[in-house]
Amino acid sequence: MPLLVVFGLTALFILWVLSGPWRHRRRRLRLASQPFPSAWRRILRRRVPLVARLPADLQLQLKRHMQVFLAEKAFIGCRGLKMTDDIRVTIAAQACLLLLNRPPGGYPGLRQILVYPGAFMVDRVHAEPSGIVREERQALSGESWSQGQVILSWQDTLEGAARPDDGRNVVIHEFAHQLDQENGPANGAPHLRTLDDRNRWAAVFNDEFYRLQARLQQGEPALLGSYAATQPAEFFAVASEVFFEQPAQLAAESPALYQELQRFYRVDPLAW
């Protein structure tokens, strides 16, 4: 093959590789601009009542995010569960709530959503204070892995979507973990744009996390509950559930925490 041809083909290959981000953006914009299927609209009305509370512009944004999400993420049914648009759309709507006012293509590290009919069993190694290590089997409704998977119970997903004001939503919880894991292991500190944002976040979240632990130790009731006090990653995920589903209560009990979540998620559920 002539040397000039080799150089030409090499240059074309390099240009194709370098144009990857541009091509991804173009594809996502094309997906987001397509008409939203009427069958999906019916699923949203039946399964995800929270969507109807959103302002019209956010509803449109949500649907655009969903079209990209559903085109790019693989859904896998487990333990005999047959995957349907009912399942896919219900999950995508709740996951994409966390992406409003952001460019299309959220959760870049996520490849698969595995869905079980109900709670699924996992083995965990538990280290006791005495130093004894033992295995435990736990029934879970959801789990987020940094390797690119989210695992969900369909039954718990349905229940979380059907009651949009109880502060319990497994999809929001696990996808908050995905955001947390975009810059490393989940630790309650998702990616923030500036150093000032990171410093303010750390100050507010540390204060609120330890305040929650202190209240629970004293036997006082707390909106976020005991699971949020187990570790910072769970605090962030539970706070995200409550932010979207019980914004008035969270703003009243922890106004600084609410403001940080409002800045991070770029929405104000109090206005819905």
pLDDT (average), residues 16-31:
60
Quote the CA–CA distance of 149 and 144 in Å, as a whole number: 6
21 pLDDT more than 70: no
Q: What pLDDT is stored for residue 22 in this prediction?
A: 52
CB 241 within 8 A of CB 163: no
Quote the CA–CA distance of 48 and 142 in Å, as a whole number: 18
pLDDT (average), residues 156-169:
97
Name the helix (H) or strand (E) containing 177.
helix 170-180
Q: Among 1.10.472.150, 3.40.50.11270, 3.40.50.11540, 3.40.50.300, what is the CATH number of 29-162?
A: 1.10.472.150
Quote the CA–CA distance of 260 and 258 in Å, as a whole number: 5
121 pLDDT more than 60: yes
Q: What pLDDT is stored for residue 34 in this prediction?
A: 87
Enter the pTM of the model.
Answer: 0.87
Main-chain dihedrals φ then ψ at residue 108, nearest 5 degrees: -65, -25
Q: Work out the pLDDT band at 66, boundaries 50, 70, 90.
A: very high
| Residues in the chain, total | 272
CB 109 within 8 A of CB 60: no
What residue type is 202 in one-letter code? Answer: A
Please list the residue range(s) of the chain that carry CATH number 1.10.472.150.
Answer: 29-162
Q: Which of 86, 75, 83 is nearest to 113 (CA)?
A: 75
Q: Work out the pLDDT band at 88, boundaries 50, 70, 90.
A: very high
pLDDT (average), residues 163-181:
97
Please list the residue range(s) of the chain that carry CATH number 3.40.390.10.
Answer: 187-272
Give the range among 16-20, 80-84, 120-124, 155-159 with minimum mean pLDDT.
Answer: 16-20
Name the helix (H) or strand (E) containing 135.
strand 133-140
Beta bridge mates, 120? 140
Residue 232 in 3-state DSSP? Answer: helix
Quote the CA–CA distance of 94 and 66 in Å, as a whole number: 9
- Please give the residue that has the higher pLDDT: either 194 or 133: 194
Residue 100 in 3-state DSSP? Answer: coil
Q: What pLDDT is stored for residue 210 in this prediction?
A: 97
Q: Work out the pLDDT band at 134, boundaries 50, 70, 90.
A: low
93 pLDDT more than 80: yes
pLDDT (average), residues 85-114:
96
pLDDT (average), residues 259-264:
98
187-272, CATH topology level: Collagenase (Catalytic Domain) (3.40.390)
The predicted-structure confidence for 36-48, as pLDDT tens digits, reads as follows 999 999 999 999 9
- Widest CA span of the chain, in angstroms? 80
Residue 141, classified by CB atoms within 10 Å of its CB into exposed (0-12), middle (13-18) or buried (19+), is: buried
168 pLDDT more than 70: yes
What is the bridge-based pairing of β-strands 142-145 and 149-153? antiparallel
Q: Which of 184, 213, 188 is nearest to 201 (CA)?
A: 188
Q: Work out the pLDDT band at 16, boundaries 50, 70, 90.
A: very low
Q: Which of 210, 201, 211 is nearest to 263 (CA)?
A: 201
Q: What pLDDT is stored for residue 227 in this prediction?
A: 96
140 pLDDT more than 80: yes
- Percent of all residues in the chain with a pLDDT value above 90, rounded to a whole number: 76
